[in-house]
Amino acid sequence: MKRSSRVALLLLPSTAVVLMLLLPMLRLAAEGWGESVKEPFFTVWEDDFLKWRLLWSFTQAVLTCALAFIFGLPVAWVLARFEFPGRQLMLRLLMLPFVVPTLVAALGVLALWGPQGVFSQALGIDLQDTPWLLLYGNLFFNLCLVVRAGVDALGQVNAHCVAASRSLGATPWRAFWRVEWPVIAPWLTSSLCLVFLYCFSGFGLALVLGGQRYATLEVEIYTLVAYELKLAQASSLALWMLVLTGLVALAYAQVEKQLSVATRLQPIALRQPKTTLNWLAVFGSLAVLFFFCATPILAIVWRALLADSQAWAALLDAETLSALWNTLRFSAVALLIATVLGIAHALGTGTGRGSVVWRAAAYLPLIASPVTVAFGLLLLYPDWTASLSLLIAAYAVLAYPFVTKAMTAGLGSLPENLSQVARTLGANPLRTFWRVTLPLLSPALRRGMAFAAATSLGEFAVTLFLSRPEWTTLSTLIYQRLGKPGAVNLDTAMLLACVLMLLSVLVFVVIDAPKKGNESSR
């Protein structure tokens, strides 16, 4: 593709990012710096409380990465090396926790380990006001990412290389360390970078599970701006978040670029577990996935089934139906816009040397604080405060990186001669994209759209601040119910969480459902 065409394509997503992310961030920073504060960028290190918030936010993200690696790599190895009943279904279900909205995930953790949780009552353990609730919630939400990346990475190991090392006398462990590990390390690094970004800039989980002591920077920014009006401190925290997560996003983009290269190899064949140790490894891996990824979902369903008739009746009231309709229509429009932005960004980025910066730019919506962006939008566009267009635009900008990520990975794996052949046969660039490139990238595009749709359906932080009362969505309605006293409100929140979870899963499955003939390739 010509350079001028790429520049034109990048103009659309770049404009959206500048108007919806960069300018609001700068506006909020300017608002805070306009106060009589000396060197506001470094005020966080002069306040012990804010310094603790920053260090804890970084620490919990790093701890989650470490735990996800410790639990995820062995599970991935078992799923990638053994063939057993239910394996394909397990691989399909791996991404289920990730598409569950964060607020639903938080309720699932509370249903297990909260004051009235299933495990808390059975074991007599009170994890309230401890860091373990947030860490467990982070693992529920992100362990599947590491496992899935590990399975894909182990599928890239060349069987001939492993066989050669074993024939030269290498033990299984030495063959893994010297042959398999160099291949899978970049894949795992990529997934762990993504886990760090999600944990460090997460809002919903930290708001519900962190409590007063273990809340993260995102929650602190929300508190400083919404309740204390300390814009200088909030902007300082937001800028430090942007610096730290920006470095991680740049590293992630560089690793992703290296992985999006088509290779031909002979993968290691799956084998049936035969020995007792093999079966213990299989059952142990399934137990890990069940404990971290399945039990919170089952706990929500269980609590919902135990809800009384008043809570069930609330599902059909006007408030709930209105929230459901708002969630569906906002997400549908945002998905359409996000798809256009994602495709334009991916095609404009290309695979050249300079593409790393543009790849990193695509992840700005993931690393920017949604809370800070929301308040920045209110300050920058006061006349649009009650505008539905502003809310949906924020939805789309936050969701489009998933489409970009999937499309750039797909473009990098396509043979370059395909488009050249189409051009030599007389096809113009638009026809080449429509008839050649897009059909080949259809699975990647649908996968990116599925994640973008799930993100829009569960969006919470921006909706909390930009939405009007008549624009209440399911996520904000759940939060409102949690803030009201009484068992009925808690039961209603659990039921609404089930509805939102089922809706997200249904949309994800419908969009990402494999076409006939492509099942084997997935």
pLDDT in tens, 79-91: 999 999 988 888 8
- Tell me how many degrees the CA angle 310-313-317 measures, rounded to the nearest 5: 125
**Does the pLDDT of residue 217 top 60, yes or no?**
yes
User: Measuring CA to CA, which residue among 102, 194, 160, 63 is closest to residue 462?
Assistant: 102
Q: What is the mean pLDDT of the chain?
A: 82
Residue 60, Ramachandran bin (φ over 0: left; ψ between -120 and 50: alpha; else beta): alpha
Q: For residue 64, what pLDDT is reported?
A: 96
Q: What is the rounded average pLDDT of the residues 469-498?
A: 88
Q: Name, in order, each residue with C-beta under 8 angstroms of 421's C-beta and a sequence gap of 6 or more.
A: none
CATH superfamily of 3-19+49-290+318-512: MetI-like (1.10.3720.10)
Q: Name, in order, each residue with C-beta under 8 angstroms of 302's C-beta and a sequence gap of 6 or more.
A: 111, 118
Q: Name, in order, each residue with C-beta under 8 angstroms of 259's C-beta and a sequence gap of 6 or more.
A: 186, 187, 190, 409
Question: What band does 514 get if pLDDT is binned at 50, 70 and 90?
Answer: low
Q: What is the rounded average pLDDT of the residues 49-77?
A: 92
- What's the rounded Cα separation, in Å, for the pair 380 and 467? 16
Highest mean pLDDT among 151-160, 265-274, 277-286, 343-352: 277-286
Percentage of residues of the chain with pLDDT beyond 70: 85
- What's the rounded Cα separation, in Å, for the pair 237 and 351? 34
Where is average pLDDT lowest: 119-123, 274-278, 368-372, 502-506? Answer: 368-372
Strand partners, 5: none
Distance of CA 352 to the CA centre of its chain: 26
**Does the pLDDT of residue 31 top 80, yes or no?**
no
Where is average pLDDT lowest: 47-61, 72-86, 112-126? Answer: 112-126
Q: For residue 132, what pLDDT is reported?
A: 92
User: Measuring CA to CA, which residue among 478, 473, 404 is closest to residue 445?
Assistant: 404
Where is average pLDDT lowest: 2-6, 108-112, 427-431, 440-444? Answer: 427-431
Question: Beta-carbon neighbour count of residue 130 at 10 Å?
Answer: 15
This prediction has a pTM of 0.81
Q: What is the rounded average pLDDT of the residues 1-26?
A: 80
The 8-class DSSP code of residue 44 comes to G
**Does the pLDDT of residue 76 top 70, yes or no?**
yes
More confident residue, 78 or 235: 78
**Does the pLDDT of residue 329 top 90, yes or no?**
yes
Q: Name, in order, each residue with C-beta under 8 angstroms of 436's C-beta and a sequence gap of 6 or more.
A: 418, 419, 422, 427
Q: What is the rounded average pLDDT of the residues 59-64?
A: 95
Q: For residue 303, what pLDDT is reported?
A: 85
CA Rg value for the chain: 24
pLDDT digits (tens, 9 = 90+) for 390-425: 999 999 998 998 898 888 877 766 666 665 655 666
Beta strands in 359-454 (DSSP E): none
More confident residue, 435 or 440: 440
Between the alpha carbon of residue 165 and those of residues 168, 171, 172, 376, the distances in Å are 5, 8, 9, 57
- What's the rounded Cα separation, in Å, for the pair 414 and 403? 17
Q: For residue 442, what pLDDT is reported?
A: 82
Q: For residue 332, what pLDDT is reported?
A: 94
User: Measuring CA to CA, which residue among 500, 489, 458, 494 is closest to residue 111?
Assistant: 494
Q: For residue 63, what pLDDT is reported?
A: 96
Structural tokens at position 205: 């989980």
- What's the rounded Cα separation, in Å, for the pair 455 and 102? 9
Q: For residue 378, what pLDDT is reported?
A: 82
Amino acid at 214: Y
Q: What is the rounded average pLDDT of the residues 294-301?
A: 90
Q: For residue 138, what pLDDT is reported?
A: 93
Q: What is the rounded average pLDDT of the residues 284-291?
A: 94
